[in-house]
Amino acid sequence: MCHKLLGPKSRATHWKQTVMYLEDSLTICEGETITGSMSVSFNKKNPRDVDIKLSYSLDGQHSKVSRTQH
């Protein structure tokens, strides 16, 4: 069974949430794994902002990608 990852589709909650869209449209099958990391640091120009770096990779049946987004 495969699922296309399109984005958040769940009902809103009282928790503050941030959505990070991937540059790639991924299809993942049962048993496959997306690996990655995320780092968050204070922005040097505005201490109220944060800079986010997201790295991910998938070597699947339908999607093969390795990318870093800032």
Which pLDDT score, from 0 to 100, does residue 25 have?
87
For 13-21, the CB contacts below 8 A with 24+ separation are 20/52, 20/54, 20/69
Which pLDDT score, from 0 to 100, does residue 2 have?
67
Which pLDDT score, from 0 to 100, does residue 39 have?
95
Rounded to two decimals, the pTM is 0.67
Which tens digits make up the pLDDT trace of 16-53? 667 788 888 889 999 999 999 999 999 999 988 889 99
Which pLDDT score, from 0 to 100, does residue 41 have?
93
